């Protein structure tokens, strides 16, 4: 059966429900009424790369190998970071499986799809700069068709470093409006491209990510959350809220058009990789580690003010921040919310002795949980997950040793400061585990609300919707609650043998150049996932 997967990056029912009730998103409200909804619980660290990869593979991060945007590795000179790409996804995806078994696929704006997989269909990856968009599209030559359709507007499909940098580091009031309008235009372009391919090409699976919800909620949470928006807003605050609502109004119209194009016999799945909520804290984790004697700052680790978003500090490479000879525990990226523990592999090497690892890690957990806000006495760290708890699997050894869940689900800061905890001047939006799922179409109950599902569980549902067998070795459970019992009795899910080894999967068509990697790292820093 034709299947449409619409990703709304960072979408949360805490924002969408009021928008549906207020008439801003009437189509989405109708889609919920004629379908089934559930919270979609993200990966243990609710972050874009591991979460979308779990949805696309049916495997947890410990078994697909993606934990962050980058992967650390250690040499004699220190700790370095490698940018992750599609080649680092260590198993089959929905798109490669669908292509292998004869399905035609449209794949637009998904993370970790660059270099593009050589699927049966069309790929325009997410997180690609305009300069590299031509070689990132698939099949070869498709970019010329893209240009003919969208003209110079193809530039807006790519991540614009200047816009994203401003959005994360802070905009003056005069630039908020244009920044939001830019994201309205960008979603419209993705919609135009998807409509074109859906009407001009044969397809079985059409998948797209609209990432504007994540972008708007990071910067403009206080304009979207009714609990944060002032009762008596200034004219400027009201203007920005009105523009935010216009973004969601246009997004709703776009969803209506795409679902109408798919037709009544198609199944529709609207999902997010994680949810969102407000964050007030800045927890300088490496400052805390330094104060406890586990970390020493390097020459580049001078204190700075996170709220000022100094570009010079953000552009420093992580390994320059620390004195590696005197550092045994450290945080390398804000997005990982993770602590890495260095274990000495030979006498004289920096790190703790292997036999001391378990006791050291347990002491570190206890000390983190005991850290409290001096102003309120409230614990700052809600939970500390070991890699065995959070990321069990074949690639567990590549995950952080510890993953923190903060009291307000914020990202940690890896930078230096004069105190380990500070309060933001105004709330920012930050990731939460509770994402969304809305499903509608043949065989899906109408008006149903089902218990929360794990994000991996959508993978077998999508395979079933495409009439494909479900690999026996995935980490997901088939979500029976999404389908009518009579439908499942008439067409029960089929289970296949374990998925083929990765070497049997279609090869990606290109590799990332050093220049592309450098540009991507710069964009991640601009987006706030690196510092």
d(CA 16, CA 302) in angstroms, rounded, equals 41
Token digits of residue 41:
């619980």
pLDDT for the residue numbered 305: 46
Scan for tokens 């045994």, then name that residue: 328
How would you label 472-494 residue by residue, b for 16+ Cβ within 10 Å and e otherwise? eebbbebbebbbbeeeeeeeeee
Residue with tokens 């300088």: 284
- Tens of pLDDT along the chain (531 residues)? 999 999 999 999 999 999 999 999 999 999 999 999 999 999 999 999 999 999 999 999 999 999 998 888 776 666 777 889 999 998 999 999 999 999 999 999 999 999 999 999 999 999 888 888 889 999 999 999 999 998 868 888 876 655 565 555 567 788 899 989 999 999 999 999 999 999 999 999 999 999 999 999 998 999 999 999 999 999 999 999 999 999 999 999 999 999 999 999 999 999 999 999 999 999 999 999 999 999 999 876 655 544 433 333 333 455 678 898 899 999 999 999 999 999 998 887 889 999 999 999 999 999 999 999 999 999 999 999 999 999 999 999 999 999 999 999 999 999 999 999 999 988 999 999 999 999 999 999 999 999 999 999 999 999 999 999 999 999 999 999 999 999 999 999 999 976 554 433 444 444 555 555 555 555 555 445 556
pLDDT digits 0-9 by tens, 336-346: 999 999 999 88
Q: Give the 3-state secondary structure of residue 421.
A: strand
How far is residue 332 from each of residues 145, 290, 432, measured CA to CA in Å? 41, 14, 21
Q: Residue 268: exposed, middle, or buried by beta-carbon count in 10 A (0-12, 13-18, 19+)? A: buried
Domains of the chain in sequence order: 3-278+431-527 (3.40.720.10), 290-426 (3.30.1360)
CB burial string 367-385: b at 16+ within 10 A, e below: ebeebeeeeeeeebbebbb
d(C-alpha 2, C-alpha 205), whole Å: 6
The tokens for 36 are: 């089934």
The model's pLDDT over 139-196, given as tens digits with 9 standing for 90+, comes to 999 999 999 998 868 888 876 655 565 555 567 788 899 989 999 999 999 999 999 9
Positive or negative torsion for Cα 467, 472, 477, 481: positive
3-state SS assignment for residue 407: coil
Task: Tell me the torsion sign for CA atoms 416, 419, 421, 424.
Answer: negative
Angle at 285 between CA 283 and CA 290, to 5 degrees: 135
Nearest one of 128, 135, 182 to 159, comparing CA atoms:
128
pTM of this structure = 0.91
């Amino acid at each position: 059966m034709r299947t449409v997967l619409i990703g709304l990056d960072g979408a949360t029912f805490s924002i969408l429900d009021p928008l549906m009730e207020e008439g801003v998103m009437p189509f989405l409200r109708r889609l919920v009424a004629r379908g089934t909804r559930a919270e979609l619980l993200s990966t243990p660290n609710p972050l874009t790369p591991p979460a979308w990869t779990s949805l696309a593979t049916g495997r947890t991060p410990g078994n697909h190998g993606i934990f962050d945007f980058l992967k650390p590795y250690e040499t004699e000179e220190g700790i370095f970071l490698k940018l992750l790409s599609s080649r680092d996804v260590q198993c089959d995806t929905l798109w490669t499986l669908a292509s292998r078994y004869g399905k035609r696929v449209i794949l637009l704006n998904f993370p970790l799809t660059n270099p593009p997989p050589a699927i049966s269909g069309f790929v325009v990856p997410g997180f690609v700069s305009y300069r590299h968009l031509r070689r990132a599209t698939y099949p070869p030559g498709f970019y010329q068709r893209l240009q003919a359709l969208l003209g110079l507007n193809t530039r807006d499909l790519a991540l614009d470093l200047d816009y994203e940098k401003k959005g994360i580091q802070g905009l003056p009031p005069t630039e908020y409006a244009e920044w939001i309008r830019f994201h309205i235009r960008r979603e419209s372009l993705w919609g135009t491209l998807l409509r074109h391919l859906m009407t001009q090409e044969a397809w079985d699976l059409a998948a797209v990510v609209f990432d504007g919800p994540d972008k708007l909620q990071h910067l403009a949470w206080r304009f979207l959350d009714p609990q944060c928006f002032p009762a008596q807003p200034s004219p400027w605050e009201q203007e920005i809220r009105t523009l935010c609502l216009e973004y969601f109004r246009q997004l709703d119209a776009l969803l209506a058009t795409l679902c109408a194009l798919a037709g009544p016999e198609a199944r529709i799945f609207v999902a997010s990789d994680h949810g969102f909520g407000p964050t007030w804290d800045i927890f300088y984790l490496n400052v805390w580690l330094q104060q406890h004697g586990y970390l020493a700052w390097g020459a580049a680790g001078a204190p700075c003010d996170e709220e000022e978003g100094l570009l010079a500090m953000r552009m420093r490479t992580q390994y320059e921040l620390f004195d590696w000879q005197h550092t045994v525990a450290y945080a390398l990226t804000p997005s990982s919310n993770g602590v890495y523990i260095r274990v000495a592999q030979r006498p004289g090497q920096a790190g703790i002795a292997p036999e001391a690892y378990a006791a050291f890690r347990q002491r570190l957990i206890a000390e983190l949980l005991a850290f409290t806000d001096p102003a309120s006495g409230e614990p700052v760290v809600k939970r500390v997950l070991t890699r065995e708890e959070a990321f069990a699997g074949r690639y567990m050894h590549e995950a952080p040793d510890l993953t923190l869940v903060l009291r307000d689900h914020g990202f940690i800061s890896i930078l230096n400061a004069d105190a380990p905890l500070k309060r933001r001047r105004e709330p920012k939006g930050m990731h939460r585990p509770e994402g969304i799922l809305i499903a509608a179409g043949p065989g899906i109950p109408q008006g149903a609300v089902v218990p929360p599902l794990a994000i991996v569980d959508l993978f077998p549902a999508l395979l079933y919707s495409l009439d494909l067998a479900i690999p026996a070795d995935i980490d997901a459970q088939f979500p029976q609650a999404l389908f009518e019992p009579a439908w499942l009795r008439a067409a029960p899910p089929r289970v296949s043998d374990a998925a083929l080894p990765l070497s049997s999967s279609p090869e990606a068509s290109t590799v990332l150049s050093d220049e592309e990697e450098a540009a991507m790292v710069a964009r991640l820093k601009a987006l706030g996932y690196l510092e």
